[in-house]
Chains A and B, each alone.
Chain A
Amino acid sequence: MTVSLYSVAHDLVALVLTAIGSVLPAPLSRWITNAGLITALGVIVFAAILLIASMLNTIVLIWFERKLLGRFMDRRGAMHVGFAGLLQNFADGLKLMRKNTFRPEEADGLGFYLGPTAYMVTSLILFGILPVSTGWNSGVLPLSLLLALVVFSFAPLFIFISAWSSNNKYSLMGGMRSAAQMIAYEVPLLLSVVAVVVVSGSFDLNTIVAQQQNYWYWGPLFLALIVFVAAMLAEMERIPFDLPEAEAELVEGWNTEYGGMLFAFFMLSDYVRALVGSFLVVLLFLGGWTMPGWVPSAATSFPLAGIVWFMVKVYIVFAVFVWIRAALPRVRTDQLLRVGWNRMIPLALLSVVLAAGVVMVKCLPVFGCLPNLGI
């Protein structure tokens, strides 16, 4: 019996509803303590907890990036609102909420409002799919990795919808670039994931992490890791692959016409996707919430240890993304696409072959042996 977030939410709702039902007259109390109602409310509470946790995490992630980037640029980042500027982004969010949101006269209404909303929603769905610790997800999703990648790749569609309906040349060019870039890098991304799937023998993220208990994949599948990180940078549209919103050329890219809360949707979704990208790197290559055997058991057995270690790894991975952002300049469109099609895909294919080799060899000198795959 594993305790999942959903079961906690369900028990909480059941407790509250039973308490309310005990003081109400008979027909009402029977209706209130109905199992169906408890399940429905439990799902809503579960989703609310997940949403709040992920949004808080995203905002802290923005703070983390600002502070790190500041040190990379020899300054301090946000300083004054809250402890070390921790509340600065909440203040920024409040400011954006209070701003007027308007639509250009020539823009297409449906697409203009659908784009950011759907982009935000598809980005947030990913938090319900990706496990953070054992028993995080209540349901068993045998193809959760595949589902996550499918939802992740919806983004260019909505970006393109919002860019086109903005009816602005910069938006459209940014949207075109975004679509071209995301489609070009989708292929190596999926191929490098195939390498992980070949070694783990499963599309279930829980199983993939369980396979990495003593055998993190970043060593044997180092090539796949490199390809995955590079492709993920392009998917997240972070520097050096932030061509769709190249400020120097395209004003602000595909979100040029957006202001106020709609811009905040885009901004937040970008960081949600950055967080999800870090989640995926940790889940697929860095052992998820597991820790290697040499770590003392006291450090891995306290309550919520899985979540803590997982988030530590996620923030380390994100720090590497920030490091790359601080160091590298933006590439040209033709360079980006050439690298994507001519270099990344062969490397990804090579990594699949290497993964097959790893499965055949089973044991590597430093990394130890693969667990029994059961296939």
Chain B
Amino acid sequence: MTEEVLTPETSGNDNPVLWVARPMATAARQFLKSLIRPSTIVYPFERLEDPKFREEVQVAAGKPIGVGAVWDNYRGVHALNIATCISCNLCSFSCPDLCIEMVAVPGGNPKHPKKCPQIDYGKCSYCGFCSDACPEGCLSMTTRYELSVTKRSEMVYSPQKLFEVFERKLPMNPIRLERPANEDAILLDAPLCIGCNACARDCPTQCITMMDIPKPEAPAGAKLPRRIWKEPVVNDSDCVRCGTCISVCPKECLFWGTRT
């Protein structure tokens, strides 16, 4: 048997009775405190976002509760407003997990159906890039965090399902619509353009107008290129910088750049 190593100097208490009495007093204090209400909540039956915990959450967070405060940066299930979605693809482009797929929603022109994001929560990492990228503020993240399902296919939320989440009017992340001051613009490499109208046709905000350009005189001994004598003009204030026009351009004559 080893020597007693617990000396009054090392233990901090000089009275062995206190070694028993102090923890007992601490336990009794804790018991009396939690006899009124323990700190835990009965989770599936009560939730921290219930109004009755509002004050406690406020105290714990040190700031007022609600949109723009405690829930400000909460990133849960997305809410999608199908009515304002412009099918710009920006959410899908910005998704680092490739979990957003643009699928057709019923209604609109059957030849060019409206496409809205469908999110696979099995892949989603809740980074929030998509809701930051959404130019119309129709895709935002709510405080809903209960996602357990019995089948993997149920992890994929269709646009309609995301719209149902939107209709519940849960607390949401604030929508940031103001755009950066010195954002790049869509520029045109004019000699390459053939005036095919693809950019203007696919622009979700219809901010591209095909303007007539004068047909030049053909130089001697050479033929004019075969093209439509029109050029896209981008309305920068309406443009959401989705880049759809750049990706659809057959001649790769549109590019990002600073307008001088």
Task: List the one stretch of A74-82, A124-132, A280-288 in contact with chain B.
Answer: A74-82
B contact residues around A323 at 8 Å (CB): 24, 27-28, 31
Q: Does B38 contact A (CB under 8 A)?
A: yes
Task: List the one stretch of A103-111, A248-256, A324-332, A350-358 in contact with chain B.
Answer: A324-332
- Contact B31 A72, beta carbon cutoff 8 Å: yes
Rounded to whole angstroms, the CA-CA distance of A327 and B19 in the bound complex is 11
Interface size class of B (residues with CB under 8 A): 10 to 19
Q: A interface, by DSSP: helix, strand, loop or mixed?
A: helix
Rounded to whole angstroms, the CA-CA distance of A75 and B30 in the bound complex is 11
Partner of B2, one of A68, A74, A324, A334: A334
B contact residues around A79 at 8 Å (CB): 42
B contact residues around A328 at 8 Å (CB): 20, 23-24
Known: A327-B23, A334-B1. A70 touches B38 (CB 8 A): yes
- Contact A76 B38, beta carbon cutoff 8 Å: yes
Q: Does A30 contact B (CB under 8 A)?
A: no
Q: Does A71 contact B (CB under 8 A)?
A: yes
Rounded to whole angstroms, the CA-CA distance of A326 and B31 in the bound complex is 10
- Contact B40 A74, beta carbon cutoff 8 Å: yes
Partner of B26, one of A76, A327, A329: A327
Interface string of A58-91 (1 = CB under 8 A from B): 0000000000101111111001000000000000
Q: Does B213 contact A (CB under 8 A)?
A: no
Known: A79-B42, A328-B20, A334-B2. A74 touches B34 (CB 8 A): yes
CB distance from A370 to the nearest CB of B (A): 30
Rounded to whole angstroms, the CA-CA distance of A74 and B30 in the bound complex is 7
From residue 1 to 54 of chain B, which have CB atoms closer than 8 A to chain A? Answer: 1-2, 20, 23-24, 26-28, 30-31, 33-35, 38-40, 42
- Contact B42 A74, beta carbon cutoff 8 Å: no
Q: Which residue of A lies closest to B22 (CB)?
A: A327
Known: A71-B35, A326-B27. A76 touches B20 (CB 8 A): no
- Contact A75 B2, beta carbon cutoff 8 Å: no
Partner of A76, one of B1, B24, B27, B40: B40
A contact residues around B1 at 8 Å (CB): 334, 338
- Contact B34 A71, beta carbon cutoff 8 Å: yes
A contact residues around B20 at 8 Å (CB): 328
The interface of chain A, by Cβ under 8 A from chain B, is: 68, 70-76, 79, 323-324, 326-329, 334, 338
- Provide a sorted-by-A list of 6 A–B residue pairs whose CB atoms are within 8 angstroms: A74-B33, A76-B42, A323-B24, A327-B26, A327-B27, A329-B23
